[in-house]
Structure 1
Amino acid sequence: MMLDALARTGPAASSTQPASAAWAPPDGWRAIERTAVVGGAEDWSRLRDAVLHWVVKRRSGFAIPPGPATAGERLLVTARVGPVVVREPIEVVEVVDEPTRAGFAYATLAGHPVASEEAFVVHVDGDAVVLTVRALTRAAPSGPWRAAFPALRAVQEVALRRYLRALR
């Protein structure tokens, strides 16, 4: 699959605003924000590195090429649901790596089952490290997945629960 040739289907770049503590989702998208305490402040370095290296997605059942999230990089993420392999082309649209906040956002490309942007961010909050997952989703603009969007929303809820448990 030639990822460079694929159009982005997610919202305007970095609409999940991973660098910001507060979020103002754009209209026209199903917006979700969930958080979970994933460790203590003493765990910051390990959790920062885990998020920036896709551990949340990997531990949630997705296969991702090795390496850190890098802005502008296009990747093919895969998920296996029983005998079915789902290929999900994405583009990393923003990476944040600050002293107390780290994470990234990616947008979907043509061929992904939904049009979406997701962000995975950890930040220090007092004595705790908190994982925040933000998602903007709507049906893919075209293709066979479009009709399955109601079922894919249920699958997204399962994935969100896995994401929030992935670093514990």
Structure 2
Amino acid sequence: MSTLTYPEVGATRLGPLPRGYHHLHHRSRVGRGAADFAAAGAAITEWRMHRASGARVEASARRAEPGGDVRVSLGLGRLCFTAPCEVIWTAYGEDGRTGFGYGTLAGHPERGEECFVVDLAEDGTVWFTVLAFSRPASWYARLAGPMVPVVQHWYARRLGRTLRRIVAEG
């Protein structure tokens, strides 16, 4: 097992998010009803949401499982950034929630944790949430400064739109 690069392991599942990090919280509606909830949960935990958004994903397992390694890459050529992570926790339908959280490993441009979950609300609405805490771990993330949170928010919104499309297509 690899070594995580931050001490607050599991904070995206249990909260609260730790101080001293940039916090990201994005929530969007992606569907309605049990079938949409199941489709969204499968797309998240089987890496389809990330792949359909344009990211390249190399994972040690077909679906998210604690202890699994994941490498997410975005960009092309010299402008390609790879983010090695380890899955920290998963939820598979417990209490109307499906998703996972992963933490950063050495070589990731940031330090911290991020989770991707869908929740089935009592009214039948399916909500997608990205919750994260991070701070720069590389010189280029420090150099990018205030642009990093902007890019993180953009990517979270993109994932929400992608997941909504996947669910709508059935």
Q: Considering the TM-score relative to the shorter chain, is it more than 0.5?
A: yes
Q: Distance in 2 between matches of 1:166 and 1:151?
A: 22
Q: Is the CA contact (8 Å cut-off) linking 2:26 and 2:153 kept in structure 1?
A: no
Q: Distance in 1 between matches of 2:19 and 2:91?
A: 24
Q: Distance in 1 between matches of 2:20 and 2:109?
A: 18
Residue among 47, 54, 64 paired with 1:61: 54
> Would you say 1:34 and 2:26 are equivalent positions?
yes
Partner of 1:133: 130
Partner of 1:13: 9
Q: Per-residue displacement from partner, 1:24-81 (whole Å, max 9, x unpaired)? A: 2121111121111101113122112111112232222211126211110112221115
How far is the alpha carbon of 1:137 from its aligned partner? 1.2
Residue among 103, 115, 121 paired with 2:99: 103
Residue among 11, 25, 37 paired with 1:44: 37
Over the aligned positions, Cα root-mean-square deviation in angstroms equals 2.0
How far is the alpha carbon of 1:110 from its aligned partner? 1.4
Residue among 102, 112, 115 paired with 2:111: 115
The more displaced of 58-67 and 69-78 is 58-67
How far is the alpha carbon of 1:86 from its aligned partner? 1.2
How far is the alpha carbon of 1:143 from its aligned partner? 4.4
Q: TM-score, normalised by structure 1?
A: 0.84
Runs of at least 4 residues of structure 1 off by over 4 A?
A: none
- Amino acid aligned to 1:110: A
Q: Distance in 2 between matches of 1:58 and 1:32?
A: 21
Q: TM-score, normalised by structure 2?
A: 0.83
Aligned pair count reads 159
Partner of 1:88: 83
Structure 1, unaligned stretches of length 5 or more? none
Q: Is the CA contact (8 Å cut-off) linking 1:16 and 1:25 kept in structure 2?
A: yes
SS at match of 2:80: strand
Q: Is the CA contact (8 Å cut-off) linking 2:22 and 2:149 kept in structure 1?
A: no
